[in-house]
A and B are shown apart, each in its own frame.
Chain A
Amino acid sequence: MKKAKYLVTFLVMAFMLFLTACGTSETSGNGSDSSNEKKTLRVVTDAAYAPFEYQDKGEIVGFDIDLIKAVAKEAGYEIDIAHTGWDPIFVELEKKIADIGISSITINDDRKKTYDFSVPYFLSTNKIMVPEGSPIKSAEDLKDKTVAVQNATTGQEAVEGLLGKNSDQIKKFENNNLAIMELKAGGADAVVADNTVIEEYAKNNPNDKFVIIEDKDAFAQEFYGLMFSKGSKIKADFDKALNEVFDNGTYAKIYNKWFKVDPDVQLLKDQQ
């Protein structure tokens, strides 16, 4: 009986030691921080959106990730990036579980009611992806077609503007990959999504023979921003840091690394 007691004590202690070890390795980055008041910020993302954020052998990488790392460094914050999926980003920020959301989130008036946004850091437009030889040539042609989109994105809003809210012709998926698979499998006539993502897909999968259609009249320019909880105190710090990253060329370097072209920084700054 006594032996068992010792064993239990030993196991509990070993377990606690293990936990402590895990804890320190996670927060070891904080050691060098001069001001102890600054806690590590929780950054949430939906890492299924290459090349902005995706998982490379379990590690979250991408344009947004490089950018937030550079901006946080500039602003003097430690960050901890977590992949939560798309919808939980909004819930976590509203409940103030997370501090920052970065996931190609478009700044729009609806979202501004519940959240704060940084200055814009990326220009994007929704585009239409169709199979080669499709009769669809513009957004107008989508009116009697089935369109696959990612749930709760501006791509969905853009299509709802054409087909009506909750129309039967719109198929909403968990992410863009599933929407594209639906198009490939013949369940939809088109996918509407942010240009970078579908252009990247079409480029990487030439055998699928997808064509990207731009319709400037139907789909407006959109800007991505960092998303904060309403009334967030760190927003000002990150706005300032973003502008510094624009000015000192770090932004252009990261942009060029992921998209192989130079960004129009002036256009972004004009939006502020």
Chain B
Amino acid sequence: MDIQWNILAEYAPFFLKGTLLTIGLSLAGILIGTILGLFIGLGKMMKNKLLSFPFGLYITLFRGTPMLVQIMLIHFAVVPLFTGGTNGIAAAILTLSLNSAAYIAEIFRAGIQSIDKGQMEAARSLGMTHVQAMRYVILPQAFKRMIPPLGNEFIVLIKESSLASLVAAPELMYWGRAMQGQYFRVWEPYITAALIYLVLTLSLSYVLSRLERRLATE
């Protein structure tokens, strides 16, 4: 296999720029997605069916349609609706956040519901309010159980951010495709991109496993 290192060197600054944007998009997606997801997950757990319905609908829609379709719709229809113009980066952040929120909502719900009912009853009988019981007893325990599925979701999110290349947001995959298009070579751009994605996801799973060990009680 002949690898032309010189064209890779030429594109290195673009790959660097693209990687930084990929990290930015992923971090924004993770942060906004987690906050939204917590809110939506709590919403779906409400006992009142009428109130919880919109949250359930949201999860169904975003989890049940391909992200490729979501990013195209948001880029060409939703973002122009608000700003009058398109913006690939804004569309990518919005799509990643909204999409991951749907998954994270379910992770939160599963985490909280996995805590034994007796924990809440015990906390309440100690005189805590419902909010206090949630905050000091249920959530800390639930959070520990949520770390592995959350890490999973974050890793998927980093990889899914490559779809932003289709709406011309100049992230990692965009430059990989641009390089492929210029030289009509597949190995150099795509293996480079794959390796960078791998480094990004590996670092994230390292951070998460550290966090997991730190929170371990046994």
Query: Residues on A close to B: CB < 8 A?
Result: 87, 90-91, 94, 111, 114, 148, 151-152, 156, 166, 168, 171-174, 178, 181-182, 185-188
B binding-site residues for A, Cβ under 8 Å: 14, 75-76, 80, 84-88, 166-168, 170, 174, 177-178, 180-182, 184, 186
Chosen A-B contacts, 26 in total, with CB atoms closer than 8 Å, are A91-B184, A91-B186, A114-B184, A148-B168, A151-B177, A151-B181, A152-B184, A156-B181, A166-B178, A172-B168, A172-B177, A174-B166, A178-B166, A178-B167, A182-B76, A182-B86, A185-B75, A185-B76, A185-B80, A185-B85, A185-B86, A186-B84, A187-B80, A187-B85, A187-B88, A188-B86
Query: CA separation between A171 and B88, bound complex, in Å?
Result: 10
Q: With the chains together, A173 CA to B72 CA distance in Å?
A: 12
A269 shortest CB reach to chain B, Å: 29
Q: Chain B residues with Cβ under 8 A from A168's Cβ?
A: 170
Q: Given known contacts A87-B184, A173-B168, A182-B168, what 15 new A-B pairs fall within 8 Å (CB)?
A: A87-B181, A90-B184, A148-B168, A151-B178, A151-B181, A152-B181, A171-B88, A172-B168, A172-B177, A172-B178, A178-B166, A178-B167, A186-B80, A186-B85, A187-B88
A40 CA to B206 CA in the complex, in Å? 52
A/B pair count, beta carbons within 8 Å: 54
Q: Is the interface of B mostly helix, strand, loop or mixed?
A: helix
Within the complex, the shortest CB–CB distance from B189 to chain A, in Å, comes to 11
Cβ–Cβ < 8 Å partners of B182 in chain A: 152
Query: A178–B169 Cα gap in the complex (Å)?
Result: 13
| Shortest beta-carbon distance from A150 to chain B in Å | 9
Q: Could you say which residues of chain B place their CB within 8 Å of the CB of A151?
A: 177-178, 181
Please measure, in the bound complex, the distance between the C-alpha atom of A111 and the C-alpha atom of B88, giving whole angstroms.
30
**Do the beta carbons of A172 and B186 come within 8 Å of each other?**
no
Chain B: minimal CB distance from A4 (Å): 37
Which residue of B is nearest A173, CB measured? B168
Q: How far is the CB of B183 from chain A (nearest CB, A)?
A: 9
Q: Give bound CA distance, A148 to B166, whole Å.
A: 12
